[in-house]
């Protein structure tokens, strides 16, 4: 090999290592301590208490969100923030296949929407408001129980994804307002 080629290769390698060492990537709102769930949550996110909801699918969203905000530790005992959460759902026929004689839908689309308001517990001041929506498609089989179970599974999938969206939205709202960070 040519000595100048070796030198240029070594210089290129050193330059690429220097550039790569300057790059850092970390999750939104992360802290250096990683919880058992594999991600870290900021003190601001883990100090949010979520008010009870009145539907089964709303409770699914709430439970997943509590887990995501606190790494499985449950709700904080002395929360700095209170989150009011209203979850609604709707289902609509996505496709109708004429194979069936009764013209029932063969697939449906479940849409779950969450409207949230984050307030400071001490003052009652509104920190953030928002709305997030997620859709989940599912097949509608002929058997009634199987159709109900498919709809329930779609609700559970949508609840998990909606909770993840809400966690990101809350993190962005708190980072934008620079409260508690």
Kindly report, residue by residue over 22-68, the tens digit of the pLDDT: 665 555 555 544 444 444 457 778 888 899 999 999 999 999 999 99
Structure tokens at 9: 């290769």
Q: Where is average pLDDT lowest: 35-44, 78-87, 129-138, 155-164?
A: 35-44
pLDDT at 69 over 50: yes
3-state secondary structure of 132: strand
Q: pLDDT higher for 132 or 176?
A: 132
pTM of the model: 0.70
Which residues are registered as beta bridge partners of 91? Answer: 110
């Amino acid at each position: 090999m040519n000595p100048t080629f070796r030198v240029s290769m070594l210089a290129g390698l050193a330059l690429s290592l220097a550039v790569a060492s300057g790059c850092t990537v970390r999750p939104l709102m992360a802290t250096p301590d990683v919880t058992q769930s594999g991600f870290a949550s900021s003190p601001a996110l883990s100090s949010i208490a979520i008010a009870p909801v009145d539907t089964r699918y709303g409770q699914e969203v709430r439970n997943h969100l509590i887990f995501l905000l606190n790494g499985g530790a449950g709700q904080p005992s002395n929360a700095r923030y209170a989150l009011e959460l209203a979850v609604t759902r709707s289902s609509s026929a996505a496709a109708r296949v004429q194979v069936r004689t009764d013209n029932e839908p063969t697939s449906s689309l479940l849409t779950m929407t969450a409207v949230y308001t984050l307030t400071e517990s001490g003052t009652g001041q509104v920190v953030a408001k928002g709305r997030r929506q997620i859709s989940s498609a599912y097949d509608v089989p002929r058997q009634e129980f199987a159709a109900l179970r498919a709809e329930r599974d779609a609700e559970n999938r949508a609840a998990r994804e909606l909770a993840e969206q809400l966690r990101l939205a809350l993190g962005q709202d708190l980072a934008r307002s620079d409260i508690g960070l």
